[in-house]
Each structure stands twice: as C-alpha cells, then as structure tokens.
Amino acid sequence: MKRNRINNNDGGMIFGFIILAVGVLILLRKLDVFYPDWLLSWPMILIAVGVITLVKHEFKSFFGVMMLGLGMYFLLEREFNFDFGLQRFIFPIALILVGIYLITQKRKEKQVMSDIQEKIKAKANKPAVIGEETKAKEEGTYATDYGTGAKSYAGMSGVSGTSYSDSVSIDSIMSGINKRMLTKNFQGGKLTAAFGGIDLDLTQSDFTGIVTLQVDVIFGGIKLVVPPHWDVRVEVTNIAAGVEDKRAYRQSEVDQDKVLVIRGTVFFGGLEIKSY
C-alpha cells in the first residue's frame, strides 16, 4: 500500500516545552527566585503563538509573522518603555496588511485557475491520435502535466471557492473562507483560523495512504466535511476549546488505505468534523 510522507513538524513538542517553561517560571516565583516579570506578561503569549505557528508552517505563515511582530511590539513598548509612536496606528496598519494579504491570495488563486484552464484547452485542441498505446501515452502526459501544474501552485488555495490543487493552505484572519477541494490526489496541508472561520469540503477529494492536515485555531473555528469512508484520526491539542467529531459511526465502511491525520492546536475555538 502506498504511503505518503507524513509531516512531523506539528509543533506539539514546542508547545509542550512552552507549557513546561511557564510551569517552571511560576514555581520559581513561588520560591521567591528572581526573574524578569516580562517573561510572564501577556505579549509573551502572542510571541509564543507566533513562534509555534511559524515552526509548524516551516516559517511560511503570514499569521505567525503577524503574531510574533505584534508580541514583540507590545513587549518592547509596555515592558521596556520603547516609544515607537505607532500605538494609534496599530489597528489600521493591521487591517491594511490583512487586506493586502487577502488581495494577493485572490490574485494567486485566479492565476492557478487560468493556468489550469489553459492546459485543458491546449490538450482539447490537439488532434486525435490513433492507436491505444499512443492514446495512453497522451493521457499519461496530460495527467502528469496537470498534476505538476497543481503541485506548482500548492498552497495558493487560501480564498473561498473551488480548488484543484493537491494540497490546501488557508489562513483565515478576521474573515470567513469556504473551500471545496476537487483533487483526486489530496496531499493534506495547513489551515489557520484566527478570529475567523474556515469551512473545508473534502467530499469530492480522494487519496491513497496517509496524509496530514495541520490545523491551528485561535479564537476561531474550522469545520471539515470528509467522505464517510475515510479513516480520520484527530491528534490535536485543545485549550479551552471544543473538538467535535459528528460523523456517523460506520466501522464496516472505513477504508484503511485512506488515513487522514489531523494535527495542530485549538486555542479558544472549535474544530468540527462531519460527513454526509
């Protein structure tokens, strides 16, 4: 049976070390051992969230960069008295950055759809080739080109609508995103919902082996709709959050060759898994 490579970079160990460090600091305070108070200040929460998100997403997460930047800004300003003169501009600047990010993602998505449509049209306009062997080669070439095209733009499916990419990468920040995946070679991906929501429909997707879907929820929610025969294994860390598996129990219909592993962190939010 074919096994897809699992991404072990789920940040669980880093999150564990952070919890351990917080416990040690609280214990040291109880023992009257001196250490800087800023180590347990609220900006450090933003910094920790940013670091965990960046590590999980291989330092390619806009949300992680934003959380880390905000944490560092408030830490320097409030704890070290740095006066950047930007306090009243933080909120509009954050909105501008989020807007630019969403516009950029939309343009990338349009480019993906345009390239896929051009490939389909190019293949449709080719003259018919006689012979089963030649036809099989032609179809194989088309499948290879199409798959390569989809993988070339993996991670550019972060806006609402339909995606033909083999992997998914969505960052929903103060917004709502609805996505339907149509790939038959699903490779997993990552979902980040911060003060927003994501609805991901995988009912038309397929794969063989084991794939990993990384989810990070912070004051938001994610709903996944999966085929009823997939073997879904939830391995998330939830803190003041709810993780609900609302799928009907159908043990006899579970396909052991299709294992979806869901990993990540749900912090003051919700994760819901459904099937029809």
Mean residue pLDDT of the chain comes to 76
Query: What are the structural domain ranges in the chain?
Result: 12-93
pLDDT at 2: 42
Sign, CA dihedral 26-27-28-31, equals: positive
Give residue 260's pLDDT band: very low, low, confident or very high (50, 70, 90). very high
The answer, yes or no, to whether residue 158 has pLDDT greater than 60, is no
The answer, yes or no, to whether residue 270 has pLDDT greater than 80, is yes
Model confidence pLDDT, tens digit, residues 230-248 = 999 998 877 777 888 888 7
3-state secondary structure of 114: helix
pLDDT at 146: 39
Q: CA-CA distance, 226 to 217, in Å (whole number)?
A: 19
Query: 274, 246 in Cβ contact below 8 A?
Result: yes
Query: 200, 248 in Cβ contact below 8 A?
Result: no
Q: Which helix (H) or strand (E) holds 269?
A: none
Give residue 112's pLDDT band: very low, low, confident or very high (50, 70, 90). low
Higher-confidence residue: 180 or 3?
180
Higher-confidence residue: 49 or 151?
49
Task: Mean pLDDT check: name the lowest of 29-33, 150-154, 252-256.
Answer: 150-154
Q: CA-CA distance, 226 to 260, in Å (whole number)?
A: 10
Residue type, 232: V
The answer, yes or no, to whether residue 156 has pLDDT greater than 80, is no
pLDDT at 120: 66
pLDDT at 181: 93
Percent helix, strand, coil in the chain (nearest 5)? Answer: 40, 25, 30
What's the mean pLDDT in 29-33?
85
Query: 67, 46 in Cβ contact below 8 A?
Result: yes
pLDDT at 137: 44
Higher-confidence residue: 57 or 217?
217
pLDDT at 150: 39
Model confidence pLDDT, tens digit, residues 52-79 = 777 766 777 777 787 888 888 888 888 8
